Chains A and B, each alone.
Chain A
Amino acid sequence: MSQPAAPARAALPRSVLRAMSPAALRRRASGAPLVLSLVAAAVAVVVCCPLVFVVMQAGQSGWDSVRRLLGRPLVTTLLWHTLELTVTVTAATLLIGFCAAFLTQRTDIPGRRVFTVLLAMPLAVPEFVHGYCWVSLFPSVQGFRGAVLVMTTSLYPLVFLPVAATLRRSDAATEEVARSLGHSRWRVLWRVTLPQTRPALAGGALLVSLYLLGEYGAFAMVRYTTFATAIYTQFETSFDTVSASVLALVLIVLAVLVTGAEAGAGRRRGRGVRVVREGAAARPADPLALGRGRIPALLGLAAVVGTTLGVPVYALGYWLAKGNSSTLPSASIWTATATTAGYALVTAAVATAAAVPVALLAWRHPGHASEGIVRLAYLTRALPGIAVALAVVFFAIRYAQPWYQQPPMLVAGYVVLFFPLALTAVRASLAHVPHGVEDVARSLGRRRLAVLGRVTLPLIAPGLAASFAMVALTASTELTATLLLHPTGTETLATRFWSYTTGLAYGAAAPYAAMMTVLSVPAVILLTRRTLGPARSLKEEA
């Protein structure tokens, strides 16, 4: 196999080797990292608009009113609800995500490929549709248990996919050595395999917890109040952006704690991963024979798929078949679909493009400044959509008036909302690129931009595709920001779904929910293939 001494060289694709040709040696590198820093900072400024808005608004209320607001009886309950839910669901998604990834990537369980796609598929169903499906079939799904159930079933793929990708890419040799030294299967799993996946677990947990902090629709469906739903109520009942912003600050503080914890896990991960050779040097594992454990494992996976995918599919089918009269005007589902798809694709392209400079800066120049930008960007994810949307309204009407309520503004709002998803995907793929690659290419005389276009970007192409799919998927189901930012007269699938469910027309809402799901399926398949792709291509190359 590969020599440990030359892992970077083994990882060089043809484009890099071409860059090493004598013809490429002529030019010296030029350009300044200043440009990159400026672009990244500009992106960060735009993405942080909602934070600025919330802090500005909250700043308008005096200390006294802040104290009174946070001293209300419901606030302690909300804080407890939010924390309890975040901890429980994050733990549940980590457990399910890891087990499912391990079974499908490292064992000889039958139907591994099909299971991998099916296990990722709940991502295609938006959280509030998950909620609607559960609640419409089982009215008893509500409160804390309902929230845990709905959120776990819709969010565990955020852990499953990165862990599966890591398991597939990482080198099996370490585990084999550990086993040959007489360690038991469980001990190897605990001491070797689990530490390998720690970065993926930490990244997934971060996304899951941030989702939970900001989620509204699904909690409204299962009637569970958290800070995010309370902030909504504050906006809706008292038209009070100031108090709502004070509450939103609490969410931001929670998000700071969560991202801090993830960064802590990242620091620790350095030790665990040192022995792991990633990238092209890795050799795929021989599947672990499950033996008698096969049947229970199969049943387990089938149960997960049945719960997380079976319920929404059945519920949507039920409502589609039952579809009744509606007291709302009928709208063209095709127009809404085209509009939704258009916005989702454009947003995905813009958000991915915006994530590249920020991710590159953090990768090439790790330090307080670049880390700060990355973490600031993540905080927005914890804000409820309405706070983000009002922030975009606030800044757009002052500084971009002609674009207000025009398509670019909706795209801008989406990019702000989904930037962390893009950033996560791009950063994850950069983590697999050996640091020396760019330097080698540049020392061979390539300009920075050429290095970026011909070396770096091709290397992280899977990450770019994952980012694109992830953002397109989420944007096509966005609801709350869309309601405020969409051009007057335009409808997306989510806004139609919302109109119908608030009008009690479950039957009429079902086709829109089904279409949102169908539209998301290609993105999930792309995501699954891209996430799991590299190992396959390695085998082909080998």
Chain B
Amino acid sequence: MVAVGAALTSVVLAACGSGSSKPVAAGRSAGGSLAGQSITLYSGQHEQTVQALVKAFEAKTGVKVNVRSGDEAELANQILTEGKASPADAFFAENPPALTTLEEKGLLAKVDASTLSAVPAADSSAGGDWLGVSARSAVFAYNTSAVQTSQLPTSVQDLAGAAWKGKLGIAPSETDFTPIVTRMIKAVGADATKTWLQGLKANGKVYDSNEDLISAINKGEVAGGVVDHYYWYRMRDEVGAGAVHSALASFAAGDPGSMVDVSGIGILSSSKHQAAAQALLAYLVSQPGQQIIATSQSYEYPLLPGVTAAKLDKPLSAAGPLVPATDLGDGKQALDLLQSVGLLS
């Protein structure tokens, strides 16, 4: 019994040892240098890119960043539940609604004006509560043996039509899907959007995630679906170029399905390391930070003018209009519609 206890204790200690890196006490650096400070970043963004960014930032400033990687929605829920006592200093999200929700609850601090001015104003929160860092575009992914280029939809509205019956895949629970619905509401009104969603539901097979959806399209389980562009590139990395049986197409300019939205980051107003967190944000939109994004395997578009995505087939300017975050809001109206047609609970 004693031996078991001792063994357990040593295991506990081992487990603890790998886990708890005590943050270095802040505020020591009253002189202005941030070196030696430590901040916690809740990140719903692509892990590998965030690691590369954080590493470069740590090397430059001496600030230690503890990254807590997870799903953006889970992390947002966690911050909401934690409230003012949250250990997070900053929250890096994939889509604006997660940040807008925190903004509406008054949990975010203002981003430094000089940082905000680095990227186009429409890329960040109108109130200056969070900063746009990179962008992704909505595209139509299709299986090349199931769909001829002549059959490609020009509008996202076409997908509710009879031609797509039983061929469409959708991932309505993905946070990337709601912005498209929000745009439809803006374009054609709530009633027409509801009819459109009912058409999608009737035509489509529902997937739990965009990863599942793009993989299903590539395998030919469904003929096509709307996803963010980078899912296709990452899928290509995973299966190898030889196993790619799918391609990307854009909707016509001006269509609600043709759009670019941003990934952003905000600083928690409860953070005790405001200066270090502000420095991280400034770094993310600096030339070196944006260069890392441009060449990373997250395949997102950098936002800083002059830095271009090296690995993508299309430049950002051709990927569709950028949707100002204010237009997307917190996505509640789109969710209500999705729920009312039974695509979401």
Contact = CB atoms under 8 A, between A and B. Distances in A.
Interface of A: 72-75, 77-78, 139, 220, 223, 225, 229-231, 233-239, 241, 247, 324-329, 335, 338-339, 341-343, 345-346, 349, 386, 390, 393-394, 397-398, 401, 404-407, 483-484, 486-490, 499, 501-507
Given A75-B345, A238-B332, 6 more contacts: A346-B11, A401-B85, A406-B16, A486-B19, A490-B15, A507-B238
20 contacts: A74-B342, A233-B345, A235-B73, A237-B175, A239-B98, A247-B345, A324-B240, A327-B237, A328-B48, A338-B15, A342-B12, A484-B78, A487-B19, A487-B20, A488-B21, A502-B209, A503-B234, A504-B215, A504-B234, A505-B238
Nearest to B234: A327
A257 B20 CA distance: 42
Nearest to A490: B19
Contact of B74 (A328, A386, A397, A506): A386
B286 interface: no
A343 B211 CA distance: 30
B51 interface: yes
B19 A407 contact: yes
Given A327-B234, A327-B237, A499-B69, A73 B209 contact: no
B207 interface: yes
Contacts of B178: 237
Contacts of A236: 71, 73-74, 77, 173, 175
B66 A489 contact: yes
B218 to A, nearest CB: 10
Given A223-B206, A487-B20, A489-B21, A77 B74 contact: no
Given A239-B80, A489-B66, A230 B74 contact: no
Contact of B15 (A239, A407, A502, A507): A407
A72 B339 contact: yes
Nearest to A136: B215
B297 interface: yes
B238 A504 contact: yes
A343 B101 CA distance: 34
Is chain B's interface secondary structure helix, strand, loop, or mixed overall?
A: helix
Given A75-B345, A239-B80, A327-B297, A338 B14 contact: yes
Contact of B47 (A73, A486, A488, A503): A503
A385 to B, nearest CB: 11
B255 interface: no
B77 A235 contact: yes
A75 B342 CA distance: 8
A338 B18 contact: yes
Interface string B316-331: 0000000000000001
Interface of B: 8, 11-12, 14-16, 18-21, 40, 46-48, 51, 66-71, 73-74, 76-78, 80-83, 85-87, 98, 101, 173, 175, 178, 206-209, 211-212, 214-216, 219, 221, 231, 234-235, 237-240, 297-298, 331-332, 335, 338-345
A528 to B, nearest CB: 20
Nearest to A220: B208
B146 to A, nearest CB: 15
A139 B169 CA distance: 14
Contact of A393 (B14, B69, B81, B297): B81
Contacts of A490: 15, 18-19
B207 to A, nearest CB: 7
Contacts of A229: 208
Contact of A237 (B68, B83, B298, B335): B335
Give the residue among B67, B173, B206 with the most A Cβ atoms within 10 A.
Answer: B173
Contacts of A488: 21, 40, 66-68, 87
A345 B8 contact: yes
A335 B17 CA distance: 11
Contacts of A325: 237-238, 240
| Pairs of residues from A and B, 10 with the lowest C-beta to C-beta distance, nearest first | A342-B15, A230-B345, A487-B19, A236-B73, A490-B19, A73-B342, A327-B297, A342-B11, A488-B68, A74-B342
A78 B345 contact: yes
A77 B82 CA distance: 33
B340 A406 contact: no
A362 B82 CA distance: 36
B83 to A, nearest CB: 7
A390 B216 CA distance: 32
Contacts of B86: 397
Contacts of B206: 223
A81 to B, nearest CB: 11
Nearest to A407: B16
A286 B118 CA distance: 83
B77 A483 contact: no
Contacts of B11: 341-342, 345-346
A484 B74 contact: yes
